[in-house]
Amino acid sequence: MRSGISMRGFTLLEVLIALLVLSFGLLGLAALQAYAVKANQSANFRSQATSLANMMLDNIRANRVNLGDYYSDDYDDTACTSTPPTSSPAAFELAEWQRTIRCQLPNGRGAVAPISANEVAVCIRWADSRWDSDSGDSTGKCTVDASTFKAGLADNGPGAGTDGQVSVFVVSSRM
């Protein structure tokens, strides 16, 4: 006690400062939640790309005799509702795989290309526009992406990355 005045409770200024600190904490928590949603969606797309790439590699391994029929170095823009050709089983599997990529990944495109005498690269690109960037598209060549991201077995590179707003995933395997 000072001079007969009791000091109990909080002043209005202390309450306002406490509310200000709490509001900054809640804003930080909201920003963290928004970032977590972005990262989770991006991880989901990468997981789907991994599964689709492995599916194509399994198809190629099962039909090694027709390996050349799977090659499509360009990222063709396949419609989600397109009908695969029936000219050969390999052409059908490639077209069906590209259609599946288009349907499951935003602006998704896939390609398969040889990168050495006994090695093949399976490449997938998709739009990951949740991240801030202002360049990139889903066109290009699988062999260029395999080289850029060092996806060859001898290169020991990451095999994945981004090209502007486009995520790129490349898997290589010996055949």
| Cα angle: 162, vertex 43, 141; to 5 degrees | 35
User: What is the enclosing helix (H) or strand (E) of 124?
Assistant: strand 119-127
Is it the case that residue 131 has pLDDT exceeding 60?
A: no
In Å, how far are 18, 68, 153 from 54, measured between CA atoms?
54, 18, 15
Q: How confident is the model at residue 1 (pLDDT cuts 50, 70, 90)?
A: very low
Nearest to 78 by CA among 50, 107, 49: 107
Out of 11-15, 71-75, 81-85, pick the least confident: 81-85
Nearest to 170 by CA among 162, 135, 91, 38: 162
Q: How confident is the model at residue 138 (pLDDT cuts 50, 70, 90)?
A: low
Which tokens is 111 given? 């390609």
Structure confidence at residue 135 (pLDDT) = 45
Residue found under tokens 């495109």: 109
Give the contacts of 171 (CB within 8 A, at least 6 positions apart): 50, 53, 54, 57, 121, 122, 151, 159
Average pLDDT over residues 156-165: 68
Average pLDDT over residues 107-135: 78
- Return d(Cα 65, Cα 90) in angstroms, integer: 10
- Return d(Cα 53, Cα 11) in angstroms, integer: 63
Structure confidence at residue 153 (pLDDT) = 66
- Return d(Cα 56, Cα 33) in angstroms, integer: 35
Helix extents (H) in 11-166? 12-62, 89-104, 142-148
pLDDT per residue as tens digits for the range 46-73? 899 999 999 999 999 898 888 888 888 8
Is it the case that residue 136 has pLDDT exceeding 60?
A: no
